[in-house]
Amino acid sequence: MAAVSLESVSKVYPGGVRAVRDLRLHVRDGELLVLLGPSGCGKSTILRIIAGLEEPSSGELWLDDQPATDLPPRERNVAMVFQNGALYPHRSIHGNLAFPLELAGEDPAEIRAKVVELSRALQIDQALDRLPGSLSGGQRQRVAMGRAIIREPSVFLMDEPLSNLDAALRTDLRLEIGALVRGLGVTTVYVTHDQVEALTLADRIAVLRDGRLEDLGTPTQVYEDP
């Protein structure tokens, strides 16, 4: 089963930039797919189309094998984190993680239990009462990821989540992201321009160039086959 299917998707921005060209891509249930390519090749546009923040100019999107091209973002079971996962500065870490569940009207005791459990998996359970401003960049990014996945989306999108961190933190957090999303079994599309990230994280890598799919396969297939 495909969690996400893009069928002949193209995106032309006003002004004529062709960001995505006739893309056919199926993300399998539960896999971690990395979209790899240089800046400007269309990676973020593809994520925004999956999230519903951008409409394709042509082609179709399917989510969990249901037509989703015209589905409003709120009705998609999709969560996204950005480079600078912005947090609510005046809410504690607990408050940040709890927010999506509060919006959904969940029971406070259940919210507390879910927040504590997820914060342990993310190794931020010691920081639940602190404000975002007192955390390190790596901790803040963990909170942003936690807030995105706490409602258990069927698709998790990450747009260069490590790009604003220093090298040592990047390695640590990369390993944790891999463990976290595999532990949750959530279908994940991860955008990066970093080959090492792609190689070490991906179940499969989709290599993009100028809005086109250039290669698609496991890290071994992409890097070792001619």
Choice from 6, 9, 19, 213 touching ligand ADP (CB under 6 A): 19
CB of 44 to ligand ADP, least distance (A): 3
Output 42 or 115, the one with its CB closest to ligand ADP.
42
Q: Which stretch binds ligand ADP (CB under 6 A): 11-19, 118-126, 146-154, 215-223?
A: 11-19
Q: How many CB atoms lie within 10 A of CB 26?
A: 15
Choice from 6, 33, 44, 186 touching ligand ADP (CB under 6 A): 44
4 exposed, middle or buried (CB, 10 Å; 0-12, 13-18, 19+)?
buried
DSSP string, 34-69: EEE--TTSSHHHHHHHHHTSS--SEEEEEETTEE-T
- DSSP code, position 90: T
Q: Which stretch binds ligand ADP (CB under 6 A): 39-47, 89-97, 109-117, 119-127?
A: 39-47
Q: Which stretch binds ligand ADP (CB under 6 A): 40-48, 88-96, 165-173, 199-207?
A: 40-48
- Rounded distance, CA 53 to CA 72, Å? 9
- Rounded distance, CA 130 to CA 11, Å? 42
What is the three-class DSSP state of 174?
helix
Output 187 or 192, the one with its CB closest to ligand ADP.
192
114 touching ligand ADP, by CB under 6 A = no
Output 41 or 127, the one with its CB closest to ligand ADP.
41
45 touching ligand ADP, by CB under 6 A = yes
Minimal CA–CA distance to 6: which of 30, 29, 22? 22
Two tokens, residue 208? 């993009």
Beta strand pairing status for 2-12 and 58-63?
antiparallel
CB of 195 to ligand ADP, least distance (A): 14
CB of 24 to ligand ADP, least distance (A): 17
Residues that bind ligand ADP (CB under 6 A): 13, 15, 17, 19, 37, 39-45
